[in-house]
């Protein structure tokens, strides 16, 4: 399948990916004086609201709810941002794709890069707060960079599928919010997996995000390493989604100039 | 009247671009865009998907040798731009084969990827990397670009404060300084004032002397005459005439102004 060839071809365009990502970040932050602070306002507001609703209105019975919520909410936000901002990039870049011959996945990779840098910033700040609060996050947190990289691979894979959807079907823009809402509630963002009835558990765990959520929550909430089986399943899901998504994408990318 | 290619053209052995039996169809789905809901409805109703295909290029055979400068002529909608995009690899042929030897730079629009909020230099990096150049190389030719575009002192100004002419000059300068092996140009020569156009022409001519291959689409016959030695006349998606630029341009103009006036409606 020539995955290595694909990779080496993409690396030829690493400068393009880099400059597109820089452009992205610059355009978003240069002109607003508060810059990166705006990225933090959104999660902070969400954390406040979720914490109020799920620990005071609907009492989930989860100890230290914000600490339970945030390790999974941040990765989830990253996924949502990528689906809504990065995935439509190809579809929106018809002008570029029709006029220049460059690998169109570089648009995806650059979008992922700028979104991921924001995600890293959020996670870094959160870990810093945990440390300052004296939360027991070691040694589990040591595995966090690895988990974040795995999450990046996973989300990139998902984005490839959505990007193709946006290119080929006009109604993807209406379907994707529905999918994301369903996916949100079927992922243990604000409730523990143990609340899911036993008889649905197997079906529930078909959702790869369940395992990825565990990889983020175990180290940061309980301070333990996630079980190797969970890590393995999450990694297997991530890598296969990425590889399959990328292959599907590259098989179709020569049609983009015509379809868009 | 095909294959009028005269032996007086310089003969170089290696091919730069070869098109063999190239045809290109464009598919048009019933409406304009594809909707999943419509396709599902059609599936439920048992309607067959009707796609209309339009043949834009039909059985094109062209061999462009290294160092050749080819001007492509033809009326609107005859497939010139599609041909150029096939050569650039932006489009894939429906059938047949396109082969390229060397680094291709396609100038199909000025300043592809330019963004008004970014400075001139930042835009050079975006535009240049889209054209396939490396960051390091771009940094090394930055003074050259700045000088060529006559934008000294403006490179750190956001592009939105540039005039249209300045933006176009910058876009053209990047492409001119990119030094590709094969340069594909689509109707973009009419850039800047007379002085800048002359400078571009000179730059092109010195690149030609160094052995660059150029394929150029334009309605500006004079520009084609100045740059190209060979002409290809496209008509209804196939090669109608192929010869020296003088011959081809002459016959092409004849059919509007001269003896062949009867043909106009058919061209």
ipTM above 0.95, yes or no: no
CB-CB under 8 Å, B129 with A171: no
CB-CB under 8 Å, A171 with B36: yes
State the Cα–Cα distance between residues B174 and B88, nearest whole angstrom: 17
Report the range of poorest mean pLDDT among A35-49, A217-231, B76-90, B242-256: A35-49
Task: Evaluate the CA torsion angle B213, B219, B221, B223 in order and state its sign.
Answer: negative
- The rounded percent of chain A whose pLDDT value lies above 90 is 53
How confident is the model over B2-9, as a mean pLDDT? 35
Report the range of poorest mean pLDDT among B1-15, B40-54, B129-143: B1-15
**Closest partner residue to A27 among B104, B112, B115, by Cβ?**
B115
pLDDT over 70 (residue B264): no
Size of chain A, expressed as the number of residues it contains: 260
pLDDT over 70 (residue B9): no
pLDDT of residue B229: 92
Contact B209, B64 (CB under 8 A): no
How confident is the model over B144-152, as a mean pLDDT? 90
CB-CB under 8 Å, B34 with A170: yes
| Residue A190: inside a domain | yes
How far A81 CA sits from the closest chain B CA (Å)? 22
Return the residue of A nearest to B34 by Cα: A169
| Residue A151: inside a domain | yes
Asked if the C-beta of A13 comes within 8 angstroms of chain B's C-beta atoms, the answer is yes
pLDDT over 80 (residue B140): yes
Asked if the C-beta of A9 comes within 8 angstroms of chain B's C-beta atoms, the answer is no
Tens of pLDDT along B92-122?
899 999 998 888 888 887 778 888 888 999 9
A101: chain B residues, CB-CB within 8 Å: 88-90, 104, 106, 132
Alpha helices (runs of H) in B32-163, residue ranges in sequence order: 36-45, 80-88, 120-130, 135-148
State the Cα–Cα distance between residues B180 and B191, nearest whole angstrom: 20
pTM: 0.85
| Residue A11: inside a domain | no
How far A56 CA sits from the closest chain B CA (Å)? 42
| Residue A38: inside a domain | no
CB-CB under 8 Å, B91 with A30: no
pLDDT of residue A69: 92
Cβ neighbours of residue A25 closer than 8 Å, sequence gap 6 or more: A114, A117
Cβ neighbours of residue B57 closer than 8 Å, sequence gap 6 or more: B22, B23, B24, B79, B82, B83, B86, B93, B237, B238
pLDDT of residue B50: 64
CB-CB under 8 Å, B33 with A100: no
Q: pLDDT class for A4, splitting at 50, 70, 90? A: low
Closest CA to B157 of B188, A15, B149, B131: B149
State the Cα–Cα distance between residues B52 and B253, nearest whole angstrom: 34
Contact B51, B39 (CB under 8 A): no
If residue B82 lies in a helix (H) or strand (E), which one and from where to where?
Answer: helix B80-88
Contact B88, B104 (CB under 8 A): yes
Asked if the C-beta of B135 comes within 8 angstroms of chain A's C-beta atoms, the answer is yes
Contact B236, B78 (CB under 8 A): yes
Q: pLDDT class for A8, splitting at 50, 70, 90? A: low
Cβ neighbours of residue A8 closer than 8 Å, sequence gap 6 or more: none
B160-175 in b/e form (b: 16+ CB < 10 A) is eebeeebbbbbbbbbb
Domain membership of residue A237 as a residue range: 63-259
Tens of pLDDT along A60-113?
888 889 889 999 999 999 999 999 999 999 999 888 888 888 888 999 999 999
CB-CB under 8 Å, A15 with B34: no
pLDDT of residue A165: 94
pLDDT of residue B191: 64
A175: chain B residues, CB-CB within 8 Å: 36
| Residue A113: inside a domain | yes
**Position of tokens 């004032």?**
B193
Cα separations in angstroms, B215 against B77, B184, B233: 18, 5, 13
pLDDT over 50 (residue B11): no
| Residue A67: inside a domain | yes
- Number of helical (H) and strand (E) elements in chain B, helices listed first: 8, 9
pLDDT over 50 (residue B8): no
Q: DSSP letters along A28-43, please?
A: HHSSSTTTTHHHHHHH
**Closest partner residue to B134 among A15, A26, A258, by Cβ?**
A15
Between residues A171 and B111, which one has the greater pLDDT? A171
How confident is the model over B246-257, as a mean pLDDT? 88
pLDDT of residue B105: 84
Between residues A256 and B267, which one has the greater pLDDT? A256
Asked if the C-beta of A181 comes within 8 angstroms of chain B's C-beta atoms, the answer is no
pLDDT over 90 (residue A29): no
How far B27 CA sits from the closest chain A CA (Å)? 8
- Rounded to 5 degrees, what are φ and ψ at B7? -80, -5
DSSP type of residue A223: -
| Residue A25: inside a domain | no
Asked if the C-beta of A15 comes within 8 angstroms of chain B's C-beta atoms, the answer is yes
Tens of pLDDT along B17-54?
999 999 998 876 545 567 777 777 777 777 766 667 88
| Residue A142: inside a domain | yes
pLDDT of residue A115: 93
Return the residue of A nearest to B104 by Cα: A101
In total, how many domains does chain A have?
1
B131: chain A residues, CB-CB within 8 Å: 100, 102
pLDDT over 70 (residue B221): yes
State the Cα–Cα distance between residues B238 and B125, nearest whole angstrom: 38
pLDDT over 70 (residue B162): yes
Q: Which of B28, B118, B129 to mutate to test the interface with A (most CBs of A within 10 A)?
A: B129
Q: pLDDT class for B6, splitting at 50, 70, 90? A: very low
B122: chain A residues, CB-CB within 8 Å: 19, 22-23, 26
Q: Which of B37, B113, B115 to mutate to test the interface with A (most CBs of A within 10 A)?
A: B113
A170: chain B residues, CB-CB within 8 Å: 33-35
Q: Which of B83, B90, B171 to mutate to test the interface with A (most CBs of A within 10 A)?
A: B90
Asked if the C-beta of B104 comes within 8 angstroms of chain A's C-beta atoms, the answer is yes
């Amino acid at each position: 399948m020539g995955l290595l060839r694909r990779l080496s071809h993409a690396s030829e365009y690493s400068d393009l990916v880099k400059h597109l990502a820089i452009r992205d970040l610059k355009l978003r932050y240069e002109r607003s004086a508060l810059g990166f602070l705006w990225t933090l306002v959104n999660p902070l507001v969400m954390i406040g609201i979720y914490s109020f609703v799920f620990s005071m209105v609907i009492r989930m019975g989860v100890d230290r709810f914000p600490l339970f919520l945030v390790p999974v909410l941040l990765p989830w936000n990253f996924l949502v941002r990528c689906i809504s901002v990065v995935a439509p990039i190809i579809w929106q870049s018809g002008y570029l794709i029709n006029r220049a011959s460059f690998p169109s996945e570089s648009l995806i990779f650059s979008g992922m890069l700028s979104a991921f840098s924001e995600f890293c910033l959020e996670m870094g700040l959160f870990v810093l707060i945990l440390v300052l609060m004296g939360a027991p996050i070691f040694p589990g947190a040591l595995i966090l960079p690895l988990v974040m990289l795995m999450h990046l691979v996973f989300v990139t894979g998902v984005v490839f599928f959505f990007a193709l959807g946006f290119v080929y079907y006009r109604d993807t823009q209406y379907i994707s919010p529905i999918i994301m809402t369903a996916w949100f509630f079927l992922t243990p963002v604000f409730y523990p997996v143990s609340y899911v009835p036993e008889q649905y558990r197997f079906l529930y765990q078909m959702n790869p995000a369940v395992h990825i959520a565990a990889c983020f929550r175990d180290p940061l909430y309980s301070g333990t390493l996630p079980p190797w089986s969970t890590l393995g399943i999450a990694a297997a899901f991530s890598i296969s989604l990425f590889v399959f998504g990328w292959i599907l994408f590259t098989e179709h990318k020569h049609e983009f100039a015509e379809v868009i | 009247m095909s294959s009028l290619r005269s032996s007086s053209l310089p003969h170089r052995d290696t091919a730069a671009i070869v098109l063999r039996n190239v045809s290109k169809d464009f598919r048009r789905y019933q409406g304009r865009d594809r909707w999943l809901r419509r396709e599902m409805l059609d599936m439920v109703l048992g309607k067959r998907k009707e796609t209309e295909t339009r043949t834009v290029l039909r059985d094109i055979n062209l061999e462009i040798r290294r160092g050749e400068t080819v001007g492509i002529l033809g009326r609107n909608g005859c497939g010139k731009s599609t041909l150029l995009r096939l050569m650039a690899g932006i489009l894939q042929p429906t059938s047949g084969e396109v082969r390229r030897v060397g680094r291709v730079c396609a100038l199909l629009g000025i300043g592809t990827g330019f963004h008004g909020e970014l400075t001139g230099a930042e835009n050079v990096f975006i535009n240049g990397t889209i054209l396939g150049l490396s960051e390091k190389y771009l940094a090394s030719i930055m003074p050259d670009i700045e000088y060529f575009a006559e934008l000294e002192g403006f490179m750190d100004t956001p592009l939105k404060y540039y005039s249209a002419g300045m933006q176009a000059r910058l876009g053209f300068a990047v492409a001119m300084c990119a030094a590709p092996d094969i340069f594909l140009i689509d109707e973009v020569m009419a850039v800047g004032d007379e002085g800048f156009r002359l400078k571009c022409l000179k730059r092109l001519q010195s690149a030609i002397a160094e052995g660059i291959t150029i394929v150029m689409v334009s309605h500006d016959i004079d520009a084609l005459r100045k740059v190209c030695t060979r002409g290809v006349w496209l008509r209804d998606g196939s090669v109608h005439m192929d010869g020296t630029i003088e011959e081809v341009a002459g016959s092409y103009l004849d059919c509007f102004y001269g003896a062949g006036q009867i043909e106009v409606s058919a061209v």
